[in-house]
Chains A and B, each alone.
Chain A
Amino acid sequence: MNPTARVSEALQRAPRSFGGWLLGLPLWAWLGTFVLYPLVSVLLTSAGESYWEILAAPHTRRAIVNTLALGATVAVLATGVAYLYAYTVTRIDLPRRVHRLLHFIALIPTVTPPFVFGVSLILLFGRRGLVTHAWLGLKGVDLYGYPGLVIVQILAFFPYAYLLLRSLLLEMDPTLDEAGIVYGGTPFYVMRRITLRLLLPGCASALFLVFTLSTTDLGNPMFIGGDFMVLTSQIYVTVIGLFNLKAGSVLAVVLLIPCLILLALQKYVAARESYATVGERAARPAMRTADPWIRVPLVSLALGMAAFVIVFYAMIVVGASVKIWGVNYSLTLEHFHRVLFESWMLGTRTVLDTMLLGAIGAVLGSGIGLLGGYLVAHSRVAGRHWFDLFVTLPMAVPGILMGLGFSIAFNQPPLLLAGTAVIIVAIFLVRTVPYSQRAVVAAIMQVHKSLTEASTLAGATEFQTFRRVIFPLVRPAVLAGIIFNFTRNITTLSGVIFVVSPRWRLLTAAMLGEVETGRIGGAASLGTLLIVVVWCVNLLGYLLFERKTLRRLGA
């Protein structure tokens, strides 16, 4: 046998020694119990003779139409805004500080529950809203329903599209823009005919992403939807109000359909037109135009959006700190006092429960993601690709469907978990592990294969290679993942609404309770607490992990 063949044989054999089923079996068991079992439970509950009856009911059809109309409107508008915003940040000549500020403000909604903006809309444009009632003096006028939802969801979801398009704009070969200019195109012509054209696949992805976010949002339709029922709010009302699990399941499955179709479409578009990132890796930043005909409108728009985000965000704190909104604007801490200390410290316990469960879920989620990512990206265990597919499945599954599945599956033997902390942590995990695992897979893929091969040939066992070569290199991704997971855990509403219990309460669900009982000040103060927790943890994470990483990278 020649030496090369011997080496490659050694490499093939080595990774089988450790890991393998020892790692695979528990992961599959977890996957089967907490991802597949609840999903199958919903599907089984929904199936049956009254399926078509429920589907044909007028309120179901109305909810479907409303969901699609809202999703389409928000997707188109938010993606348009996001393109212009991303173009401003990456292609317009502005002081660096302004670029950073715009970018930072756009990040705010991504660490905030979307329905916080819903609460702000109530404060600003509700029946006793600051704008509608106090300033314009309108009586009984509000923006609830379709228009309000469009405004709030654009504010809450355009940043996701922005982040996607921004990274594509940064990766795009800058010489294409330059060629467009040098060969006589005006900046505006190039912006439309070159940059936007090359970004179309990315825009399609952004469109699908925002559509999914809009259609799976539960908080805003509950808070400000009014009579405008969409599928998520219809599911909530059906399950909680009418105790009709079967009808709720049917609606949840209906909601799943557009999500899956869009996922497939996104993959199709991405596969077909992927030249946006082809070409030279951006060696220098793209040209930034100072053409006033572009700069003035775009910067105005971006600053306007940023101001909107800030105003809506600040409104929560203001709303939490005045006596009775729309009636008595004197400053007070009584809402905080009530939600935190009354009813036997109920609110304090809610905050602590939220942080405790959120943190446990975040750490476990990163751990499972690390092991799962290792299993998928590095081991040779049979079926690892199926494992990856199933783990990442919840990315496409609406949170409310997953939550419903949990409440059906674990409300009965053999796994009676309802009312426990386990069920809450488990749904946190199901909804964050896909992202953690994806991040780890990406990080391991970046570790050049020759590094692990060198380690193996140097005589390291697979465990040693993992501990001494792979883990140190993926650690930044794992640590950043903990912060991301925590943020996601404590800001989700649709996922947890069916699994919270009097024993284990969460802030987002408590906010819904306050809004439903008309205590907007209470909702705003809970929202303020939630925001404070999120910011503290993200700041801490930045100081602990990111800065160290940045320093090590010499940035």
Chain B
Amino acid sequence: MTNQHEQSLRRGGSFELILENLTKVFPGADGPGVAAVDRLSLTVAAGTFLTLCGPSGCGKTTTLRMIAGLETPTSGEICLAGQPLTRIPPNRRHIGLVFQSYALFPHLTVFDNVAYPLQVKKESAAVIRREVDEVLELLELAGLSQRYPNQLSGGQQQRVALARALVTRPSLLLFDEPLSNLDARLRIHVRAEIRRLQKALGITTVYVTHDQVEAMSISDEIAIMHEGSIEQIGRPEEVYFRPATKYTAEFIGRANLLSGEIVSADERSAAVRVLGHEFRLSVAEGQLSPGDQVVVMVRPESVYLTDSAQGDLVGTIRQSTFAGTTVEYAVSVGDTTLLITELGDLRMSPLKEGRRVALRFNSDRVHLIRAGGQARP
């Protein structure tokens, strides 16, 4: 990296991050290694908040650690603001990273923890005091600056970790499951706080979590990861309502995946027979022909229980679970069991198990996935 570029990064701002064919193979105990990340390519536009989301072992943390420089890619390139990062050691990348465990130095006070990135750069004491005070103020930690990490609550530790990540105005902000050590209530609060700060500062951000609700509520874009590569990338509502694969459909939220057969199809739409009922769906890509086996997905909240006169299908309630805000029903239609969610205030008391009901689908929300789930070539 040129010195001039380093200078421009130091001033802060929004930069584009590009990962190109990034691969990480960990050497196996014996025999060939395992590819934790496999030819992953990704572009994060400047100022975007992108979340890598997937189950444990999908390579999301390894990807993040490669961006931070804590792991060396086996092949591939990482570019930030057009400059290749791969050969730059981690201590010169100028990236903010919030660890899952926070990784606050237990022997340093809050002030010294936050000052650490400036101290190692040999900034003057006055600059350090000004910058640290400013960021502590921003995160409402000013009163705690002389405390030690073990004297802080989990939420406070998390804010100190964030302060340390922000104090140098990094060119990129990384989060590794930062909320997993917080209780549920605090998690929602901190989530909103992180989002608000990121928007205000405009820093390009990559966030790693296995929690799909967290991913949807915090991100501009979500990249669903599966076995070391990206399964789908898109805005939260895209990924939620129009999953490209069965894997994404089941990973994000809960999904009814039903097998169907194409009855007729043209460029824009297709008629699909599912559970004996014919649906007309709009499709993004053509190339469907009658007789094709497909999978359609419908979210539990996009199926309504109605009077039998208006229903698309008829089924029997097998289980009903009252959960306050919502009521969940398992309804069997033939051999298939559908999951249906209703708002809790819709009825005085949930429908009884064993009752015959009619189902009506919100056909705008019935989404077609090609059989086998491989929507992309």
Binding site for B on A (CB under 8 A): 173, 175-176, 178-187, 189, 194, 197-198, 275, 278-280, 287
The segment from B12-20, B99-107, B136-144, B268-276 that touches chain A is B99-107
Majority SS at the chain B contact face: loop
Q: Which residue of B lies closest to A96 (CB)?
A: B27
Q: List 27 A-B contacts (CB under 8 A).
A: A175-B103, A176-B103, A176-B106, A178-B70, A178-B99, A179-B97, A179-B99, A179-B164, A181-B90, A182-B90, A182-B91, A183-B91, A183-B117, A183-B120, A183-B164, A184-B116, A184-B117, A184-B120, A184-B121, A184-B168, A186-B120, A189-B120, A198-B107, A278-B106, A279-B103, A279-B106, A280-B101
With beta carbons under 8 angstroms apart, the residue of A175, A183, A275 that contacts B116 is A183
* Min distance, Cβ A542 to any Cβ of chain B, angstroms: 20
- Mask, B152-172, CB within 8 Å of A = 1, is 000000000000100010000
Residues of A within 8 A of B164 (CB): 179, 183
- Residues 223-238 of B at the A interface (beta carbon under 8 Å): none
List residues of chain A with CB within 8 A of the CB of B37: none
Total B residues in contact with A, Cβ cutoff 8 Å: 25
Residues of B within 8 A of A194 (CB): 105
Whether A173 and B101, one on each chain, are in contact in the complex, defined by CB atoms closer than 8 angstroms, is yes
Partner of A179, one of B92, B105, B168: B105
Q: Knowing A178-B99, A275-B150, A280-B101 are in contact, say whether A184-B91 is a contact too (CB < 8 A).
A: yes
> Which of A182, A186, A187, A279 sits near B68, CB closer than 8 Å?
A182
Known: A181-B90, A184-B117, A280-B100. 18 other contacts (CB 8 A): A176-B103, A178-B99, A179-B97, A182-B68, A182-B95, A182-B97, A183-B120, A183-B164, A183-B168, A184-B92, A184-B116, A184-B168, A185-B120, A198-B106, A275-B107, A278-B106, A279-B101, A287-B70
Q: Which residues of A contact B100 (CB under 8 A)?
A: 175, 280
Q: Which residues of A contact B121 (CB under 8 A)?
A: 184
Residue of B nearest to A173 (CB): B101
B: residues with CB less than 8 A from A are 68-70, 90-95, 97, 99-101, 103-107, 116-117, 120-121, 150, 164, 168
Q: Which residues of A are found within 8 Å of B120, using beta-carbon distances? A: 183-186, 189
Q: Which residues of B contact A187 (CB under 8 A)?
A: 91
A287 to B68, CA, bound (A): 13
If A183-B116, A185-B120 touch, does A275 touch B91 (CB 8 Å cutoff)? no
Please report the C-alpha to C-alpha distance between residue A176 and residue B99 in the assembled complex, in whole angstroms: 9
Q: Which residues of B contact A275 (CB under 8 A)?
A: 106-107, 150
- Per the bound structure, the CA–CA distance linking A194 and B106 in Å amounts to 10
Q: How far is the CB of B168 from chain A (nearest CB, A)?
A: 8
Q: Which residues of A contact B116 (CB under 8 A)?
A: 180, 183-185
With both chains docked as a complex, state the minimum distance between the C-beta of B151 and any C-beta of chain A, in angstroms: 12
Give A384 Cβ to nearest chain B Cβ, in Å.
32
The answer to whether A179 and B103 touch (CB under 8 A), given A184-B91, A184-B117, A275-B150, is yes
Contact A278 B90 (CB under 8 A): no
Could you tell me if B107 and A197 are in contact, using CB atoms closer than 8 angstroms? yes
The residue from B69, B107, B150 contacting A182, defined by CB atoms under 8 A apart: B69
Most buried by B among A184, A186, A198, A280: A184
Q: What is the chain A residue whose CB lies nearest that of B27?
A: A96
Complex Cα–Cα for A175 and B164 (A):
14
Give the residues in chain B near A175, CB-CB below 8 Å: 99-101, 103
Asked if A186 meets B99 with Cβ closer than 8 Å, knowing A176-B105, A197-B107, A198-B106, the reply is no
Residue of A nearest to B101 (CB): A280
Residue of B nearest to A273 (CB): B107
CA distance A287 to B65 in the complex (A): 11
| B106 neighbours in A (Cβ, 8 Å) | 176, 198, 275, 278-279
Nearest chain B CB to A509 CB, angstrom units: 46
